[in-house]
A and B are shown apart, each in its own frame.
Chain A
Amino acid sequence: MATLEVLGKTLLLDKDGNLANPGDWSEEVARELAVREGIGELTAQHWAVINFMRKVHEQEGEPPSVRRITQESGVDTKALYQLFPNGPGKKAAKIAGLPKPKSCI
């Protein structure tokens, strides 16, 4: 299994390169992952998406679809694609320490 060195710790990754264990996640890890994903510094809007995704995952066991993020997190489609370019759902999930969303929408 692939691993990632973040802030002096070795974290296990799943087949998509996302954290395999959501418990390994912290806000510091998120900041570090964002830099590595080319997103740079996380703004309040980034955090709104990340926190919403983590909340849904915690309550329902799965990360929300991209459509649901745009409906319920307070960040609309245009903004979401600007915040997380090149694949907003999977990028945001990666930084949120969650598996890639399985939804087609």
Chain B
Amino acid sequence: MKEPKSRQPVERVSIIVSRGSLEGVYPGLIMANGARMEGIEASLFFTFFGLDAITNKRLDHLKVATVGNPAMHIPTVLGAIPGMSAFATHMMKKEIEKLNIPPVREFLQTIHDAGGEIYGCKASVDMFHLKKEDFTPLVDDIITVGEFYEKSAGAQIIFT
């Protein structure tokens, strides 16, 4: 029996990571890696502050945002206390490790080794005055939005 078109399995995903906080980056990484584990083609496109997740100097130091995040369940003024973000980051990293989820650098390596593609957004790279050598060598290329759409042919595009 032929499946209705809407029920056809997902074959390709293009995941955009636009945020640079720990909680902003992990969902995209988990989805990309999860896609590869299911045999789904996956590419990651890092844009705006999401670039921090592929910037060599920054990617090991991503922090949890404790201000302006109602789901943190702490008042904004408390979230603004110095050290609060570092504390929340420490706690979340511990939980992440408990679930056997790798740190960001290792996760990027895994996705790369699993055949996932990793791209940076040219407009953001130019805006932040970054150069190709500022990024981890796991980055396949810095591409324009047009190239992103070309590479996403036939893919579901997911914005995070």
A residues at B contact (CB < 8 Å): 65-68, 70, 76-78, 81, 85-90, 103-105
| A78 to chain B: closest residue by CB | B113
Are A67 and B102 closer than 8 Å at their CB atoms? yes
Q: Is B38 an interface residue (CB 8 A)?
A: yes
A-B contact pairs, 11 of them (CB 8 A): A66-B37, A70-B110, A77-B109, A77-B110, A78-B114, A81-B113, A87-B38, A87-B39, A90-B37, A104-B34, A105-B102
Q: Contact between A86 and B100 (Cβ–Cβ < 8 Å)?
A: no
Question: With the chains together, A89 CA to B40 CA distance in Å?
Answer: 13
Q: How far is the CB of B27 from chain A (nearest CB, A)?
A: 11
> Could you tell me the dominant secondary structure of chain A's interface residues?
helix
Q: A88 to B113: give the CA distance in the assembly, Å.
A: 13
Tell whether A77 pairs with B113 under 8 Å between CB atoms, given A65-B100, A103-B100. yes
Determine if B114 and A77 form an interchain contact, defined as CB atoms under 8 angstroms apart. Answer: yes
**A87-B37, A87-B39, A105-B30 given; A68·B100 CB < 8 A:** yes
Q: Is the CB of B30 within 8 A of A104?
A: yes
Contacts of A90 in B (CB 8 A): 37-38
List A contacts of B110 (CB < 8 A): 67, 70, 77
The 4 closest A-B pairs by CB, nearest first: A86-B39, A87-B39, A77-B113, A78-B113
Contacts of A76 in B (CB 8 A): 113
Residue B19 at the A interface, CB < 8 A?
no
**Bound CA–CA A74/B93 (angstroms):** 26
Q: What separation, in Å, do the CA atoms of A66 and B102 have in the docked complex?
A: 12
Bound Cα distance from A78 to B113, whole angstroms: 5
Contacts of B89 in A (CB 8 A): none
Alpha-carbon distance A77/B33, docked complex (angstroms): 11
Chain A residues with Cβ below 8 Å from B63 are none
**Distance from B30 Cβ to chain A, minimum over Cβ atoms (Å):** 6
Bound Cα distance from A70 to B113, whole angstroms? 11
A71 to B133, CA, bound (A): 29
Residues of B within 8 A of A103 (CB): 100
Complex: chain A residue closest to B30, CB-CB: A104
- Does B81 interact with chain A (Cβ within 8 Å)? no
Decide if A105 touches B99 in the complex (CB within 8 Å): yes
